[in-house]
Amino acid sequence: MDKNKIKKTLKEFLNESNFKKLSFLANPFLEEFVTKYVELCKPKSVFISSGSQEDLDYIRKKAIENGEEAFLKIEGHTIHFDAYGDQGRDRENTKILLDTNKGDWLDHFFVTGERNEHLEEIHNLLKDIMNGREMFVCFFTLGPCGSEFQIPCVQITDSAYVAHSENILYRQGYNEFTKVFRKEEFFKFVHSQGEVDERHVSKNLSKRRIFIDLEGETVFSVNTQYGGNTIGLKKLAMRLAIAKASREGWLTEHMLIMGVRGPENRITYFTGAFPSMCGKTSTAMLEGETIVGDDIAYLRVIDGVVRGVNVEKGMFGIIQGVNSVDDPIQWKTLHSKGEIIFSNVLVLEDGSVYWIGHDGRVPEKGLNHSGEWFRGKRDAKGKEIPPSHPNARFTVSLEMFENVDKNLDNPNGVQIHAIVYGGRDSDTWVPVCQSFDWEHGIILKGASIESETTAATLGKEGVREFNPMSNLDFLSIPLGKYIQINLDFGLKARQKPLIFGVNYFLKDKNGNFFNEKNDKKVWLKWMELRVWGEAGARKTPCGYIPLYEDLKKLFKDVLNKDYSHSDYTGQFTIRIPENLSKIERLKKIYSSLKDIPQRVFILYDEEIKRLKDARECFGDYIPPDKFEVIK
Ligand code: SPV
Ligand code: MN
């Protein structure tokens, strides 16, 4: 684009102060990008956010004025609603753009689209879409400032709610843009909520589109407001970062990072990958431990050790089930003054909020994502509408939590000693199990996650789905390549983190959960001891499991609970038929894909052999005490 033309267009849409803020960054690539979308979307005006307090306040004010948020009873709290039917990630219309003529390909379960065709479609949808509205241009960085993990980003949106959410969730990047060495290297996000109705929610959900252009490192999102579809730096950036990481030899993971306290206040850092709504945030928020992040981590091998950072600085957390007993820290923050956006919860007359699983009784009526709500209300399809949406969320800065880890913004991140993989699995995996080594962990734990679907995505709940590393929804490279990169990553590290598989959702014969919500705390403490060689284990065909005596002591010390031997036996019985069927299912999936590393099949066959050998000796359901004790 011609330089003079850029200047002319920017002058036409930006007032003097905004023009100055953009020019100060002296980045021709950025100016060209902004100009392109200003010309296409034709906003009424353009606001450039420098990240100053004044600019952040302006965006907050606009979210209220535009009707995207409303004040609640407690100071700093606001409510935002998404359109009915826009409360989860839209998998079907989230597409990765590929240029198949150039040989680009992805496995069959990815939703993809031909690049040129889809760029044309989205640019047609974006045409004049911001007519009469203000465009916000915001700068952020993924990962801590001044760190080798850092990726600069620019977000264009006509939603003050999206800009406001990002101001809470991400580190400001305006100043970082003045330092960016390669000025063309930044991720770009373009979002428009499209036409809205009288409730200020997106009207054209049938034209909801989220297109990820890896080649242009740009993501487009239109006709939607739900954070998972619109907050560019969250799951949209993740696809770009996974592709970038795969080129550069590091990892972008759907992982929490937390500090687990061991004896004498030692802190050992863990990452944990769990599909959405499977306990990731509640693990990261366990009382007595510290949180670095609850959703997305970048991992690099630096000086022979694995180090990780939280890509974000805030939490877009699931609110359903948060109560004063199980989640005291979240409960306290959600009831304190400070900047919090609640989304898709129930708002009562006095401006207080209610969600499913909140302490106390279900209110009679209020305002929710369906409009005026009353008990027993049904939607157009006859489905009963709950008081809050199961994927209702809160957006808050991690600084608002008393358990935030002191290394949140450490540019070097934290050293990762353990990696935990878990899914929603009612009948197969034991509650906690350590892999034999790195390869076994990546393949038999990470790449073998299956999880029953939840409300985090639109569609049916409770269906068992393959979800390797809990990252399948966010991958942008072929799965075989991703697994290979994971295998290689550990080989580069002199000190490899231990890898564990966990299952918080195991059920007994009567369909009741074997464990209570906070039992996970005991599993963490056991894993922490394993990292330092301070707990024994039994060797099963699937990996190492805890000794009864160790768990009994931990249950008493940590939760003041008596842990019976029969609980141990029920929970840690190795279920041979279920484990064998699981591996057969996985082998079938992997056999249908291209370029899967041979090690995957070799390790599956080895595990099958171990399971069958054990069955020969002890039968189908093997109580833990049958297995040999190792150091
Ligand atoms: C998840 O669903 O995994 C989330 C929320 O963390 S979203 O932003 O929708 O991805
Ligand atoms: Mn997530």
Report yes or no: 499 and 509 within 8 Å, Cβ to Cβ. Answer: no
Which ligand does the CA of 392 lie closest to? 1
d(CA 200, CA 77): 19
> Helices (H), strands (E): how many in the chain?
18, 34
Distance of CA 494 to the CA centre of its chain: 28
Residue 180 in this model has a pLDDT that exceeds 80? no
d(CA 578, CA 153): 45
d(CA 367, CA 364): 11
Which parts of 418-475 fold into alpha helices (H)?
Answer: 438-440
Report yes or no: 385 and 368 within 8 Å, Cβ to Cβ. Answer: yes
CA 276 to ligand 1: nearest atom: 3
CA 254 to ligand 1: nearest atom: 3
- Reported as a pLDDT band with limits 50, 70 and 90, residue 98 is very high
Burial of 198 (0-12, 13-18, 19+ CB in 10 A): exposed
295, 424, 461, 475: residue to mutate for ligand 1 pocket, most atoms within 8 A of CB: 295
Residue 619: CB atoms within 10 Å: 11
Q: How many angstroms separate the alpha carbon of residue 273 from the centre of ligand 2? A: 9
Which parts of 414-494 fold into alpha helices (H)?
Answer: 438-440, 479-492
Report yes or no: 540 and 571 within 8 Å, Cβ to Cβ. Answer: no
pLDDT digits (tens, 9 = 90+) for 257-270: 999 999 999 999 99
Report yes or no: 211 and 239 within 8 Å, Cβ to Cβ. Answer: no
And the tokens for 216? 């242009």
Measured by CA distance, the residue closest to atom 3 of ligand 1 is 276
Residue 182 in this model has a pLDDT that exceeds 90? no
Among 373, 324, 322, which Cα is nearest to 347's?
373
CA 235 to ligand 1: nearest atom: 10
Q: Residue type at 429?
A: W
Q: How many angstroms separate the alpha carbon of residue 43 from the centre of ligand 2? A: 32
d(CA 10, CA 264): 59
Q: How many angstroms separate the alpha carbon of residue 228 from the centre of ligand 1? A: 5
State the catalytic residue, choosing from 41, 138, 278, 433. Answer: 278
pLDDT digits (tens, 9 = 90+) for 31-51: 999 999 999 999 999 999 999
**DSSP designation for 146:** T
Res 453: pLDDT: 78
Q: At what angle do helices 28-41 and 115-126 cross, to 10 degrees?
A: 60
Annotation says 278 is catalytic: yes
Give the CA dihedral 452, 251, 212, 113, nearest 10 degrees.
-70
CA 457 to ligand 1: nearest atom: 2
Res 191: pLDDT: 98
Res 455: pLDDT: 72
231, 233, 234: residue to mutate for ligand 1 pocket, most atoms within 8 A of CB: 234
Sign, CA dihedral 164-170-174-175, equals: positive
Q: How many angstroms separate the alpha carbon of residue 504 from the centre of ligand 1? A: 19
Measured by CA distance, the residue closest to atom 10 of ligand 1 is 228
The DSSP string of 313-339 is SEEEEE-TT--TTT-HHHHHHHTSSS-
285, 316, 424, 475: residue to mutate for ligand 1 pocket, most atoms within 8 A of CB: 316
Mean pLDDT of 135-140: 98
Q: Which domains does the chain have, with CATH numbers?
A: 3-69+92-233 (3.40.449.10), 252-313+408-630 (3.90.228.20), 316-399 (2.170.8.10)
Among 538, 543, 617, 531, which Cα is nearest to 579's?
543
CA 227 to ligand 1: nearest atom: 8
Among 631, 274, 610, 621, which Cα is nearest to 470's?
274
Distance of CA 258 to the CA centre of its chain: 14
**SS3 category, 368:** strand
d(CA 598, CA 579): 21
Res 183: pLDDT: 85
**SS3 category, 46:** strand
Place of tokens 């392109």: 36
Which ligand does the CA of 255 lie closest to? 2
86, 87, 89: residue to mutate for ligand 1 pocket, most atoms within 8 A of CB: 89
- Checking DSSP bridges between strand 94-98 and strand 77-80, what pairing results, if any? unpaired
Ligand 1, pocket residues at CB < 6 Å: 89, 227-228, 234-235, 276, 295, 316, 456
Which ligand does the CA of 297 lie closest to? 2
pLDDT digits (tens, 9 = 90+) for 332-373: 999 999 999 999 999 999 999 999 999 999 999 999 999 999
Q: How many angstroms separate the alpha carbon of residue 231 from the centre of ligand 1? A: 10
Q: How many angstroms separate the alpha carbon of residue 60 from the centre of ligand 1? A: 23
Measured by CA distance, the residue closest to atom 9 of ligand 1 is 228
CA 393 to ligand 1: nearest atom: 5
Measured by CA distance, the residue closest to atom 4 of ligand 1 is 276
Which ligand does the CA of 317 lie closest to? 1
Report yes or no: 31 and 20 within 8 Å, Cβ to Cβ. Answer: no
Mean pLDDT of 13-41: 97
Measured by CA distance, the residue closest to atom 8 of ligand 1 is 228
pLDDT digits (tens, 9 = 90+) for 505-532: 999 999 999 999 999 999 999 999 999 9
**DSSP designation for 23:** H
Place of tokens 């066959």: 605
Q: How many angstroms separate the alpha carbon of residue 514 from the centre of ligand 2? A: 25
Which ligand does the CA of 272 lie closest to? 2
Q: How many angstroms separate the alpha carbon of residue 42 from the centre of ligand 2? A: 33
Cβ neighbours of residue 469 closer than 8 Å, sequence gap 6 or more: 253, 254, 273, 421, 446, 447, 449, 482, 486
C-alpha gyration radius of the chain? 25
Q: How many angstroms separate the alpha carbon of residue 295 from the centre of ligand 2? A: 5
Mean pLDDT of 266-277: 95
Residue 294: CB atoms within 10 Å: 25
Q: Give the CB-side neighbour count of residue 499, counting CA atoms within 13 A.
A: 25
Cβ neighbours of residue 580 closer than 8 Å, sequence gap 6 or more: 608, 611, 612
Instruction: List, in sequence order, every residue forming a beta bridge with 291; answer none if it has no partner.
Output: 258, 404
For the chain, the average pLDDT equals: 96
The DSSP string of 72-138 is -SSTTEEEE-PPTT-SSB-STTEEEEE-GGGT----TTS-EEEHHHHHHHHHHHHTTTTTTSEEEEE
Look at the chain and count its residues.
Answer: 631
d(CA 497, CA 415): 9
Mean pLDDT of 410-434: 97
d(CA 223, CA 409): 34
Instruction: List, in sequence order, every residue forming a beta bridge with 340; answer none if it has no partner.
Output: 77, 396
- Reported as a pLDDT band with limits 50, 70 and 90, residue 452 is confident
d(CA 67, CA 257): 35
Measured by CA distance, the residue closest to atom 5 of ligand 1 is 228
